[in-house]
Amino acid sequence: MGKTRSINVELSTEVIQVLESRVASGEYPSTAAAIEAAVRLLVQEDGDADLQAWIETDIVERMADVERGDPLRPADRVFSDLQARHLKTRTKAG
């Protein structure tokens, strides 16, 4: 994750027990590593939510257009749209 800094957080007893258990089992080398993994999952989840929203809006709408007889988009436009979306996702995650 790059540069680090220290922060203090208050966690529930249950969360602390989970962290300590994961570290004790050797799954993570430290509580900090376990928390970093959890944050990475949150970031990934946000990306997945964006993808799901895109599927539910753009793709569903486009399929409805096709079913109504509207012409398909040219492949170069599809690829440029996908590339723009990919860059936006990478920028958001980074």
Q: How many angstroms separate the CA atoms of 10 and 75, rounded?
A: 51
Q: How many angstroms separate the CA atoms of 71 and 53, rounded?
A: 23
**pLDDT for residue 76 is more than 80:** no
pLDDT at 94: 59
Radius of gyration, CA atoms only, the chain: 21
Average pLDDT, the chain: 79
Strand, helix or coil at 68? coil
Per residue in 19-54, pLDDT (tens digit) is 999 999 999 999 888 888 888 887 777 777 777 777
pTM: predicted TM-score of the whole model, two decimal places: 0.50
Strand, helix or coil at 74? coil
pLDDT-derived band at 61 (thresholds 50, 70, 90) equals confident
Q: How many angstroms separate the CA atoms of 72 and 42, rounded?
A: 35
Q: How many angstroms separate the CA atoms of 91 and 31, rounded?
A: 28
Identity (one letter) of the amino acid at 4?
A: T
Residues of the chain above pLDDT 70, percent: 85
